[in-house]
């Protein structure tokens, strides 16, 4: 079994790929896959499909959707497909459960890798952090559930996964910078700062990446552009960490240590510990 959610929805149940075409069936499959091996209550599925205006026949209609999903899974599963479909999409007390292992759902595999990457980051193991988080980010094929209608439950799940992806980018780039891979991450950071023009952390990382690549003028221009946006759009000055990096560049000093530009401390003390801002971890 292989279910992909980090992009368009696709599913393979053994013999061949099969993905439901009906919108509500896709919503149900996506939500069950995100909660694999956990019971999703009937009320939560109803809430996802119809919000606060469910039809009187909501539970009966949901049962019909489950029967149709099992038929599709059975057809894609080959011999003994009907029995296997009931095992894969099982009825549980008060709800339904999709019996898929974390490695069979890309979104769950992403979360597992990000968790392991964070643990490596806490130990200041930059190489392992980079390896795990780059693997996690490589699972994404586009915007999560790009072709699935989102009800209130899936909308929250999508936001959670998007935040997890952003955190993975931040810490992965930090690890790469700590390893002196400034040139290698330039393209990624250029794209990220364009996508998130007010995201200070990505801009700070881009400044150091440009500095490591010997492009001082670009690093100063990155600061100027961020400063202008923050002042114009939010009426705010850049954070102390960004301003300090800028001043050190102007003085010709080395900017913040590579371990900080991910900024192990900046906004992440509770997550990664209380090491001093300028401490240098092992590379």
* pLDDT over 90 (residue 108): yes
Residue 7 sits in the same domain as residue 99: yes
Query: For 181-190, how does the pLDDT look when each residue is reduced to its tens digit (9 = 90+)?
Result: 888 899 999 9
Tell me, yes or no, whether 117 lies in a domain. Answer: no
Tell me, yes or no, whether 144 lies in a domain. Answer: no
Q: 3-state DSSP helix/strand/coil percent for the chain, to nearest 5?
A: 60, 5, 35
DSSP β-ladder status, 89-92 and 10-12: unpaired
Query: For 195-236, how does the pLDDT look when each residue is reduced to its tens digit (9 = 90+)?
Result: 999 999 999 999 989 988 889 999 999 999 999 999 999 999
DSSP β-ladder status, 89-92 and 95-98: antiparallel
Distances in whole angstroms, Cα of residue 196 to Cα of each of 141, 160, 166, 200, 239: 19, 17, 10, 9, 16
Q: Is 164 in a helix, a strand, or coil?
A: helix
Q: Tell me, what CATH number does 216's domain have?
A: 1.25.40.10
Q: Of 104, 130, 161, which marks where a domain is finished?
A: 104
* pLDDT over 50 (residue 133): yes
Query: For 144-202, how does the pLDDT look when each residue is reduced to its tens digit (9 = 90+)?
Result: 999 999 999 999 999 999 999 999 999 999 899 888 888 889 999 999 999 999 999 99
Q: 245: closest CA among 185, 200, 192?
A: 200
Tell me, yes or no, whether 233 lies in a domain. Answer: yes
Q: Of 79, 104, 129, which marks where a domain is finished?
A: 104
Tell me, yes or no, whether 87 lies in a domain. Answer: yes
So what's the pLDDT on residue 15? 67
Residue 6 sits in the same domain as residue 98: yes
* pLDDT over 90 (residue 280): no
So what's the pLDDT on residue 270? 28
Tell me, yes or no, whether 159 lies in a domain. Answer: no
Looking at residues 63-75, what average pLDDT do you find?
A: 95
Percent of the chain exceeding pLDDT 90 equals 70
So what's the pLDDT on residue 182? 85
Q: Tell me, what CATH number does 52's domain have?
A: 1.10.10.10
* pLDDT over 50 (residue 265): no
* pLDDT over 70 (residue 129): yes
Tell me, yes or no, whether 122 lies in a domain. Answer: no
Full domain range(s) for residue 260: 180-283
Residue 96 sits in the same domain as residue 189: no
Tell me, yes or no, whether 143 lies in a domain. Answer: no
Q: Is 257 in a helix, a strand, or coil?
A: coil
Confidence of residue 263 (pLDDT cuts 50, 70, 90): very low
* pLDDT over 60 (residue 272): no
Domain count of the chain? Answer: 2
Looking at residues 238-262, what average pLDDT do you find?
A: 74
Q: Of 86, 104, 122, which marks where a domain is finished?
A: 104
Percent of the chain exceeding pLDDT 70 equals 89
Between 38 and 262, the higher pLDDT residue = 38
So what's the pLDDT on residue 237? 94
């Amino acid at each position: 079994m292989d279910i992909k959610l980090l992009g368009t929805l696709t599913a393979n149940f053994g013999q061949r790929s099969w993905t439901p075409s009906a919108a509500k069936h896709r919503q149900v499959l996506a939500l069950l896959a995100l909660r694999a091996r956990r019971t999703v209550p009937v009320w939560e599925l109803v809430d996802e499909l119809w919000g606060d205006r469910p039809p009187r026949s909501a539970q009966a209609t949901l049962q019909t959707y489950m029967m149709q999903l099992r038929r599709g899974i059975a057809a894609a599963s080959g011999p003994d497909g009907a029995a296997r479909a009931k095992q894969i999409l099982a009825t549980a007390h008060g709800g339904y459960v999709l019996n898929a292992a974390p490695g069979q759902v890309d979104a769950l595999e992403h979360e597992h890798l990000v968790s392991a990457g964070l643990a490596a980051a806490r130990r200041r193991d930059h190489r392992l952090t980079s390896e795990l988080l780059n693997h996690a980010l490589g699972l994404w094929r586009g915007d999560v559930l790009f072709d699935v209608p989102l009800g209130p439950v899936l909308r929250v799940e999508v936001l959670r996964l998007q935040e997890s992806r952003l955190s993975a980018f931040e810490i992965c780039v930090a690890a790469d910078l700590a390893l002196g891979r400034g040139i290698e991450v330039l393209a990624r950071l250029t794209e990220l700062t364009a996508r998130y023009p007010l995201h200070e952390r990505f801009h700070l990382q881009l400044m150091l990446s440009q500095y490591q690549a010997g492009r001082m003028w670009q690093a100063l221009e990155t600061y100027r552009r961020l400063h202008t946006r923050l002042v114009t759009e939010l009426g705010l000055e850049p954070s102390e960490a960004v301003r300090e990096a800028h001043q050190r560049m102007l003085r010709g000093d080395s900017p913040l240590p590579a371990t900080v530009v991910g900024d192990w401390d900046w906004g992440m003390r509770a997550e990664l510990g209380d090491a001093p801002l300028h401490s240098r971890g092992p590379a």
